[in-house]
Structure 1
Amino acid sequence: MTGEGGAPLAVRDVRWSAGGRLILDGVALDVAPGGTLGLLGPNGSGKSSLLRLLAGVRRAAGGAILLDGDDLAGLPRRRVAQRLALVEQHAETELDLTVLEVVRLGRIPHRRPWSGVGAEDDCAVAEAIARTGLQERLHQRWSTLSGGERQRVQIARALAQEPRELLLDEPTNHLDVHHQLDLLTLVAELPLTSVVALHDLNLAAMFCDRLVVLDAGRVVAAGTPAAVLTPRLIADVYRVRAVVGDDGPGGRPSIRFLPGRLRAPAPHDAAAPSAASTPPTTERTTAP
């Protein structure tokens, strides 16, 4: 069974608050099976909060997260963890674990209390390690890994859960360009559904099949990268001017930002620039 819109994972009019502030306000979306869905939006738009709600780490104050048509809030935590895996932005541990030990943590949802490691666990861990290319680092200590290596290990740990949906919160944060491309290539090639929160619009255009843009806790755009990443939307949501071309990989959008920040219009300030008065230089262009 699936959600009302046919998607195995769906969000229906979800609201969530923290510290007396409304973070998510009536969010609705369908996560289609397969492919990579990118979550975009400025800081504070609700991307990380939405991912935690999707993972069942937090519970919505209103609306529902549906997993195969069932309200996530009513499902056993173990069942959710067997189905969904979350890779958070910052993963730390005070324990001096090896890479292999961290990846094995992904098998916890599949093991009964006090049970030992079985053949299925070993097989899932070995496959996760192979997919992420960690064979030569199995006995290296977590504390000695670089940021990019830690992210790769966390993805391997998530894959060892054998999820159908993988949720990643800013996986490229603090990584250099090489590791950003390497990590997102890995994610895009995984044979499962991925939902990835990103800041970099060009990376989102390059690796995501569909995008959802959040602004102040609401969905303001959804669709393919070409349909969503327009100069008007970038001006509206990010308050910057941009030229959007179609010379990205495979004809996908590529974004070039222009100097000068669009200021938010003051009350009754008709002369202030706004999304409705975006300068002509921000209209979509094509590469020469």
Structure 2
Amino acid sequence: MEKLSDFTQNNTDKSPIIYAAYSAQKNPVYIQIKKGKSHKNFSDEELKNIFNESEQSRLNLTNRVQLKTPDSDLNNFGANLAVAADGIWESPTYLHGAVAWRMRLNAWRGAYVADVLSWHDRAKEHFESYANSQVLKPDFAPVEMDTLLHLARHKESMGTSVFSSGYISRNPNDNTKPHHYDMNLVFFDQMFTHFNYTGDLEFLKKMWPTLVRHMDWEKEISNAASFMMHMPRFGQVMHCNILAERLRILRRIITEPTMKWQNWRNSLVKIPNLMKKKLKVF
């Protein structure tokens, strides 16, 4: 539309436009727009209260991160960050994106923002709902590559090596669907980050069976002796760094005899030694 005067002349049935005209007034005007049928028409006073509550909620959100620098444009970054972080939250989990790619994936970076902005309750809800998405059976399964994709990746089918006990599915509270993304590494890194922020040992105790199943799965999928020979150097460094860091964090967590980790500890202990010997990164 090139001319504002044409605004009221819209005759396209498929693209209706709602508009209203008001003369300049000292006090604000509150308008209720309803979609479909509504059983209530709010009074002007009720609309005012709804608006004020919403505005206060917006201010609470945008003031969650405050930057004070000589650069006024940079100072807006804190509010933008908080709004974006809130936009990717949809209970019970964080989403891949707020607008595009608005879908659930268990570890697409989003959960990291929870603890940074002190939304520890959201972090716990995210982790707990995806703990319910962890595959429990079978304990072990054969490797099956996808022949239709010329062996480029693992066959996307439950009950195969990747999609066995310890794997976490993409949707919360549902451990029945495979997905071509393996996001276990990032998911548990987010969980350890949460622990570092909160020191919530009770929550880690609750998540402990999930952690053990994951580490057993990791040991089977990424055998410390074999994957070092077949994974490219960059992948070796990335993967080993993550596992070694987990080992250091887990040593802090293991303070009670009920948290037994002997079954897979020795495999993880090999990681730093392999890095030192083969990659010389230490």
* Superposed pair shares fold, TM > 0.5: no
Greater Rg by CA: 2
Under a length normalisation based on structure 1, what TM-score does the superposition of the two structures give?
0.27
Greater RCO (Cα-Cα under 8 Å, separation 6 or more)? 1
After TM superposition, the score normalised by the length of structure 2 is: 0.28
Please state which structure has a larger fraction of its residues in strand. Answer: 1
- Bigger helix fraction: 2
